[in-house]
Structure formats: structure tokens, C-alpha cells
Amino acid sequence: MLPVWFFIGLLLTLYGVIIFITSLLEWSHPPAVVLARYHPGVWGGVLLLLIGGFYTIRFRPRKQARK
């Protein structure tokens, strides 16, 4: 059986990629908000990529040894 954490890791990684790419595309035209100069989308995307990558690698399916 596949652990649910593997699929959560895949989803977090996918969301991280989407957020990271979207925030890179709006880097030159940031929205008119106070803290836009810190580019929180880039940092959030990187954080989701790291967490998702950890869960995906840690809980990846492995072959079981036959008894």
C-alpha cells in the first residue's frame, strides 16, 4: 500500500511549482501591496517545494523484500 503522505508530498510539490512559477512571472510587475518587495510567493513556493520534496522522498514506494 502507498502511504497517504506520499500523495501529500506530490501535491505540495505541485503547488510549490505552480506558486513559484507564477510569482517569478510577476516579479517585474509586483502587485500594489505593502510587502510586495519581499516577493512572498517566491519564498512560499520554495518552501512548499522543499517540504513536498521531503515528503515525496521520505515516503516513496519501495519494493518489499520477499519472505
Q: Return the pLDDT at 15.
A: 98
Residue 30: per-residue pLDDT: 80
Task: Give the mean pLDDT per block of 10 residues along the chain (67 residues).
Answer: 93 98 90 87 97 96 75
Residue whose grid cell is 521520505: 58
Instruction: Please state at what angle helix 40-58 crosses helix 4-25, rounded to 10 degrees.
Output: 160
Euclidean distance between CA atoms 23 and 28, whole angstroms: 10
Q: What pLDDT was estimated at residue 42?
A: 95
Separation CA 22–CA 45 (nearest Å): 9
pLDDT confidence of residue 67: 65
pLDDT score at 4: 95
